[in-house]
Amino acid sequence: MTHQLMEKEELAAQLALQGLKIGEDDLDGMLNMARDLADSARSMHIKREYALESLNGFSLVKKESPGNE
């Protein structure tokens, strides 16, 4: 996801590359969502220094099981 705030035309072009044809009526609302996601993605980038060492997928139980890598 681009970490820049995109404009409508850029959003439409990027979604078209993914095979999605977006009508003009949808673009305004979609742009707000896309900008929110870009902000969220940027915040993950900022937080990378805090990231834990492993990623075993999400399970409240299995991640604690010995030998479950």
Give the C-alpha separation, 10 to 36, whole Å: 15
> Does the protein bind other proteins through residue 4 (CB under 8 A)?
no
66 binds other proteins (CB under 8 A): no
Residue 67 CB, shortest distance to other proteins, in Å, is 16
Q: Is residue 68 near other proteins by the rule CB under 8 A?
A: no
Q: Binder to other proteins among 9, 58, 66, 67 (CB under 8 A)?
A: 58
For residue 7, state whether it binds other proteins (rule: CB under 8 A): no
Query: Rounded to whole angstroms, what are the CA distances from 41 to 29, 30, 33, 45, 63?
Result: 19, 16, 12, 7, 25
Are 59 and 27 spatial neighbours (Cβ–Cβ below 8 Å)?
A: no
Cα(8)–Cα(24) distance, rounded to whole angstroms? 9
Residues that bind other proteins (CB under 8 A): 1-2, 11, 14-15, 18-22, 25-26, 29-30, 32-34, 36-37, 39-41, 43-45, 47-48, 50-52, 54-55, 57-62
